């Protein structure tokens, strides 16, 4: 059985910083914390309509269904040589 503990958010804990209704406790900043915060920060990219179209076409190309029939048809297609 899971026990549920209620925390009084009306008063911040000693050394804590109150942010809205949640409290953030101070953490020790070391090299790993700095590396982790750098590697895992949120990145937001906004694309133009043309870039969105190209991105969708590339995505559709890489995620298309490939069957053995399509591979066979591609490998055994007639080749026309003109000189």
Reading the chain (83 residues) residue by residue, the pLDDT tens digits are 566 666 555 555 555 455 555 556 656 778 888 888 889 888 888 999 999 999 999 999 999 888 999 899 989 998 888 88
Q: Which residues pair with 24 in a beta bridge?
A: 17
Say how far apart CA 36 and CA 41 lie, in whole Å.
8
SS3 59: helix
Note the pLDDT tens digit of each residue in 50-71: 999 999 999 999 998 889 998 9
């Amino acid at each position: 059985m899971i026990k549920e503990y209620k925390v009084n958010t009306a008063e911040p804990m000693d050394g804590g910083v109150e942010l809205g209704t949640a409290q953030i406790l101070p953490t020790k900043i070391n090299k790993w914390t700095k590396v982790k915060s750098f590697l895992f920060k949120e990145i937001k990219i906004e694309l133009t309509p043309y870039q969105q179209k190209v991105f969708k076409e590339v995505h559709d190309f890489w995620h298309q269904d490939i069957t053995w029939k399509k591979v066979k048809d591609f490998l055994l297609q007639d080749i026309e040589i003109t000189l």
